[in-house]
Chains A and B, each alone.
Chain A
Amino acid sequence: MTADLQLLFTLNGEEQQVRVSARNTLTEVLREHLGLTGTKHGCELGECGACTVLLDGKPVLSCLMLAVECEGRTVETVEGMMQGPELHPLQSAFAELGGTQCGYCTPGVLLTARALLVRQPDATRAEIREALSGNLCRCTGYQQIFESVEDAIRRIQQEPAQPESVS
């Protein structure tokens, strides 16, 4: 399998060049070519949501995405959620309130929730449920995930106004 294509895209706010093969999925390129193993895979068939990343700010299943489709576009992974040493409010809320147990679905859930909060900064429980319905979690029974997202909403609202955007 020859990596014969040059891919240029923005990854977590930085320009990224990488040689890929046409058949490589975005999951493979992130994890295997670039070593960003924060993005997980649970099925590689688009069923579980563990591989969710943000593409131009929207959640996508990176296992169903060919890397070459990302040419010139913007990708954000869990590794890009911290701003320098600062945790994203979702990251601290999930850690404190049990939103993460084994942690395997967590990166995908966090990114889905991040996109939701940009779109709907005051999302309700029902909207959170709806947004996360493509991310399977076998540990938490979702309840502490919902509570973590709601807590992050409160944290963001209490922060000094900062434009919340997805890089």
Chain B
Amino acid sequence: MSNRDDLQLVGKRRARVDSLGKTTGQTRFADDITLPRMLHCKLLRSHVPHAEIEHIDVSRAEAMAGVHLILTGEDFPVTYGILPVSQDERPLCKNKVRFVGDPVAAVIAADEATAEEAARSIEVRYRPLTTVSDPAKALSQESARLHEYGEEGNIHKRLAYSFGDVDQSLADAAQVFEDVFFYQGSTHLALEQHAAVAQADPEGRVTLWSSTQCPHYVHRALAKALALPATQIRVIACPNGGGFGGKTDVFNHEIVVAKAALRCGRPVKICLTREEVFYCHRGRHPVLMKIRTGVTADGKLTGMHLQTLLDGGAYGSYGVASTFYTGALQPVTYHLPRYRFDACRVFTNKPPCGPKRGHGTPQPRFGQEVQLDKIAEKLKQDPAELRLAIVEQPDTLTANYLRIGTIGLAECIRRVVDRSEWKDKHRKLPFGRGVGLACSAYLTGAGHAIYWNKMPHSGVQLKLDRSGSVTVFCGSTDVGQGSNDVLAVMVAEVLGISPGIVRTVTGDTALTPVDLGSYSSRVTLMTGNAAIQAAERARELLASAVGEQLGVPGERLRFADGHVFDLEDPDTGVSFEQAVVAAESRFGTLGTVGSYAPPRPAARFKGGGVGPSPTYSYSAAIVDLDVDPATGMINVNRVYIAHDIGRAINPVSVEGQVIGGVYMGLGEALMEEQVFRRLPPKHSDALVHRCPSMLDYKSLSSLDMPEVIIELVENPDPNGPFGAKEVGQGPLLPVMPAVANAVFDAVGVRIDEVPIAPEKVLKGLDQIANGGEGRVGPTEFPDIHWPEPYFVPPPWEGGDGQSTNDPEHKRAAKMHEMDRTTAS
């Protein structure tokens, strides 16, 4: 289906099928749902960062008029977690709280105010434990472990991989560049606060409406945490008022209201306050990283050794995946002959981190792209030319066994260079103004589900009936990215009808086939391919019936403009509605299905499941900015960005995603910070969010946002629906390093961390004024006890994708040996 030249809808600028619902206020988000006899839930959250719960006294709350139910950790004996390897959460804490904001009790009452008052009257006696806040110290804090599981100290997960002998490649290099970078955490700040409504039916089944990006994963977790068969649970994802990864996790409040609805026999709603949303978090991990890169005299890479330390916060969440992602995608942009990556995630007493737009990859991408700028500077090369010379080739297996198909990165670089007049600007602008370039790559859908299975990642059912109506059913969830429009347009394109007559039913575990959710930039590609398959099957049925009726071979029929007609004699044909009638008469009730699963990854080593994707998108950005040397203030004049989209299904939506990604990237580059501070001991010593409000958590307003100039590079990818790649996450990635590189071009200061705040610029300028190097950023990377790396020879060194020293096999062999010795 891809690469068709006669596309009627794909590639056209169109209003999305659901956009009028949004501009008229008719789209119903989770908190817009009100059910008869509905009760309201409020959570009592811990105000201490780390403590054992000694006693909970709910007697005063219970006695209050209007209170229907109080739940505590005792009501939830089963743990859950989004990843099978991190089942470390409880809907309400049982013995221990691990961060300020951890929920301890839930009150269900007639109205929100009563629930809140009752929650406040619950008395909890805590026995304080040592607060763990510094990730470097957490490594060895054996005495204050947050969890029973994980590795030594508060280490949640350590990884080490060596794709070829990297030490040798660095030793052989003409120069080795070593840098330490820090990337501060940030949060999603979706405008919609998380909300959920649960309703039980008399059969003991429960329905949950929620602002979730992943109804399927919520469905699975609810079954586990409520100890109910999944058949008794229905999860309906409401349209999300923004997600950005912040609604991909399973949240304690979702499980609590489901339980409460079952216990009360009445609907129960919760809507989090903005402050609670800040504490729920699951956002960008703060990451400290060290990068050592070897280069030849002319700027080719010989190898890279990347080390990352992630501050994970209090729970596992998606953290193991985030940890892998800090290393997985480095080899996807430039040819990297050898690559080693070590990563470590620690638990601290802060809100849990998880996936935010770019999931684990913006941090090392920032480091790599700033370091490349330094390499170009040192080698006296143009940063664009240096990159163009090392861009990875199409149809390549990378050092870490990721299969690249099409790659439009070189074209992206050339386009932004031309568009921005880079050659006339870089190193040529007056002091205070600068331009910076950076590039990136991103997945178009993760190659694996979060739980191991052999089933499709996305399923679609299509219903057609004699009215000419078409309804597409799919578990996907519209988070604002336009996934409903993708479904409608794919089906409409194949069947030659208007997208307006295709109804979409989505994100409902009782009605729609499974789709894994709106994350990892997977939706357009995976649901798109599934929808195309279902629509093609429907088209075959219609073509066969119409062909019989008209006496024309089915394959000669064309579907376009709401008609089915003979390509060789366009006057011979029927309307689409008549075609459906013919097929329904011929075959009975009409319905088709389509499904999609990504290709099998090439990697065969343990952990090789994180990183593979059906195709990768590429971006290149040039930021043009002014720095005021007196104040350190940065004013971004313009962002030029080129994105390798494969094919733009709807350019309006694609450009919206590009600009939105640039916007969010600028926020991270310049101002957004999810940071915590200790209250003084007399005020409980708590580790609290420094700015849990939308005024104090700075983000760009309409006054701050610069003009974004977009170049779309369209080279259809055979794995994408009509050739499309992702756009939801990739365009954010190059923005932060491009800003840092532009600041260097403007005033000669290297800021090796984000956010690039004015005071850091001033600090750098002060250093230069005093004869210093003009660099601001971390200098030390802690000494981490890394495991022996999995050694995987790259494809060009005779590797087959397997590790030659799988430590687990060796360990098992050693244990076996020891057993034998002991026995004898």
Q: What is the interface size of chain B, counting residues whose CB is below 8 A from a CB of the partner?
A: 59
Q: Which residue of B lies closest to A137 (CB)?
A: B191
Does chain A have a CB within 8 A of B63?
no
Smallest beta-carbon distance A155→chain B, Å: 14
Q: B19 — which chain A residues lie within 8 A by C-beta? A: 94-96, 100, 103
Q: B664 — which chain A residues lie within 8 A by C-beta? A: 138, 141
Known contacts A38-B24, A107-B25, A132 near B702 by CB under 8 Å:
yes
Q: Which residue of A lies closest to B652 (CB)?
A: A98
Does chain A have a CB within 8 A of B23?
yes
Q: B675 — which chain A residues lie within 8 A by C-beta? A: none
Give chain B interface residues in 369-387, CB to chain A under 8 Å.
Answer: none
Give Cα A142 to B702, complex, Å.
6
Task: From B26-34, B425-433, B529-537, B759-767, give the one contacting chain A.
Answer: B26-34
Does chain B have a CB within 8 A of A62?
no
Q: Which residue of B lies closest to A94 (CB)?
A: B23
Interface centre among B27, B28, B653, B664 (most CB of A within 10 A): B27
Task: From B280-288, B403-411, B693-701, B779-787, give the one contacting chain A.
Answer: B693-701
Q: Produce 1/0 per residue, B12-28, CB < 8 A to A.
A: 00111001111111111
Q: A103 — which chain B residues lie within 8 A by C-beta? A: 19, 21-23, 27, 239, 241, 480
A48, A81, A91, A102: the one contacting B694 at CB < 8 Å is A48
Q: A133 — which chain B residues lie within 8 A by C-beta? A: 701-703
A32, A42, A77, A82: the one contacting B274 at CB < 8 Å is A42
B703 touches A130 (CB 8 A): yes
Give Cα A165 to B655, complex, Å.
33
B652 touches A138 (CB 8 A): no
Known contacts A42-B694, A44-B273, A104 near B15 by CB under 8 Å:
no
Interface pairs A-B: 4 shortest CB-CB: A38-B25, A102-B480, A103-B22, A141-B663
Known contacts A40-B29, A138-B244, A98 near B703 by CB under 8 Å:
no
Q: Produce 1/0 per residue, B27-45, CB < 8 A to A.
A: 1110110100000000000
Q: Produce 1/0 per residue, B675-706, CB < 8 A to A.
A: 00000000000000000011100011111010
Known contacts A48-B694, A87-B20, A41 near B193 by CB under 8 Å:
yes
Q: Which residue of B lies closest to A107 (CB)?
A: B25
Q: Identify whether the interface residues of A are mostly helix, strand, loop, or mixed.
A: loop
Give chain B interface residues in 660-674, CB to chain A under 8 Å.
Answer: 660-664
B656 touches A140 (CB 8 A): yes
Give Cα A81 to B23, complex, Å.
9
Does chain A have a CB within 8 A of B479?
yes
Give Cα A40 to B26, complex, Å.
11
Q: A32 — which chain B residues lie within 8 A by C-beta? A: 34
Q: B111 — which chain A residues lie within 8 A by C-beta? A: 1
Q: A36 — which chain B residues lie within 8 A by C-beta? A: 25
Known contacts A42-B192, A141-B662, A81 near B242 by CB under 8 Å:
no
Does chain A have a CB within 8 A of B482?
yes
A144 touches B655 (CB 8 A): yes
B694 touches A40 (CB 8 A): no
Binding site for B on A (CB under 8 A): 1, 31-32, 35-45, 47-48, 50, 77-79, 81-82, 87, 90-92, 94-107, 110, 128-130, 132-146
Known contacts A104-B191, A129-B702, A130-B703, A141 near B659 by CB under 8 Å:
yes
A40, A50, A100, A137: the one contacting B23 at CB < 8 Å is A100
Query: What are 26 contact pairs spanning A and B, CB under 8 A?
Result: A37-B28, A37-B31, A42-B191, A42-B192, A42-B694, A43-B274, A48-B694, A78-B24, A82-B24, A87-B20, A91-B24, A95-B20, A100-B19, A101-B242, A101-B480, A102-B190, A102-B191, A104-B29, A104-B190, A107-B25, A134-B701, A138-B699, A141-B664, A142-B663, A142-B702, A144-B652
Give Cα A141 to B707, complex, Å.
9
Give Cα A95 to B389, complex, Å.
42
Known contacts A138-B244, A139-B660, A45 near B693 by CB under 8 Å:
yes
Give Cα A155 to B243, complex, Å.
32
A91 touches B23 (CB 8 A): yes
Q: Produce 1/0 per residue, B110-133, CB < 8 A to A.
A: 010110000000000000000000
Does chain A have a CB within 8 A of B719?
no
Q: A105-B191, A138-B660, A143-B708 are in contact. List 4 more A-B contacts (CB 8 A).
A: A42-B274, A44-B274, A95-B20, A144-B659
Known contacts A40-B29, A47-B695, A100-B22, A139 near B480 by CB under 8 Å:
yes
B480 touches A40 (CB 8 A): no
Q: A132 — which chain B residues lie within 8 A by C-beta? A: 702
Q: Which residue of A lies closest to B190 (CB)?
A: A138
Q: A41 — which chain B residues lie within 8 A by C-beta? A: 31, 193
Interface centre among A78, A79, A100 (most CB of B within 10 A): A100
Interface centre among A78, A96, A98, A140 (most CB of B within 10 A): A98
Q: B702 — which chain A residues lie within 8 A by C-beta? A: 128-130, 132-133, 135, 137, 142, 145-146
Q: B481 — which chain A residues lie within 8 A by C-beta? A: 101
B29 touches A136 (CB 8 A): no
Q: Which residue of B lies closest to A80 (CB)?
A: B25
Q: B14 — which chain A residues lie within 8 A by C-beta? A: 96
Smallest beta-carbon distance B321→chain A, Å: 23
Give Cα A48 to B189, complex, Å.
11
Q: A42 — which chain B residues lie within 8 A by C-beta? A: 191-193, 241, 274, 694
Q: Which residue of B lies closest to A47 (CB)?
A: B694
Smallest beta-carbon distance A78→chain B, Å: 4
Give Cα A97 to B653, complex, Å.
9
Does chain A have a CB within 8 A of B619?
no
Give Cα A136 to B386, complex, Å.
39
A39, A135, A139, A144: the one contacting B25 at CB < 8 Å is A39
Q: A97 — which chain B residues lie within 8 A by C-beta? A: 652
Q: A137 — which chain B residues lie within 8 A by C-beta? A: 191, 702
A40 touches B191 (CB 8 A): yes
Q: Which residue of B lies closest to A37 (CB)?
A: B32
Q: Which residue of A lies closest to B188 (CB)?
A: A138
Does chain A have a CB within 8 A of B240?
yes
Q: B695 — which chain A residues lie within 8 A by C-beta? A: 45, 47
Give Cα A38 to B241, complex, Å.
12
Q: B34 — which chain A residues lie within 8 A by C-beta? A: 32, 35
Give Cα A109 to B622, complex, Å.
30
Q: B27 — which chain A residues lie within 8 A by C-beta? A: 103
A44, A107, A136, A144: the one contacting B656 at CB < 8 Å is A144
Q: Which residue of B lies closest to A106 (CB)?
A: B22
Q: A37 — which chain B residues lie within 8 A by C-beta? A: 25, 28-29, 31-32
Give Cα A41 to B32, complex, Å.
10
Known contacts A1-B111, A35-B34, A138-B190, A79 near B25 by CB under 8 Å:
yes
Q: B700 — which chain A residues lie within 8 A by C-beta? A: 141
Give Cα A30 to B447, complex, Å.
45
Q: B273 — which chain A residues lie within 8 A by C-beta? A: 44
A96 touches B274 (CB 8 A): no
Q: A94 — which chain B residues lie within 8 A by C-beta? A: 19, 22-23
Give Cα A136 to B695, complex, Å.
10
A143 touches B191 (CB 8 A): no
Q: B655 — which chain A residues lie within 8 A by C-beta? A: 98, 144
Give Cα A29 to B259, complex, Å.
29
Give Cα A125 to B181, complex, Å.
38
B660 touches A140 (CB 8 A): yes
Q: Produce 1/0 per residue, B644-660, CB < 8 A to A.
A: 00000000110110011
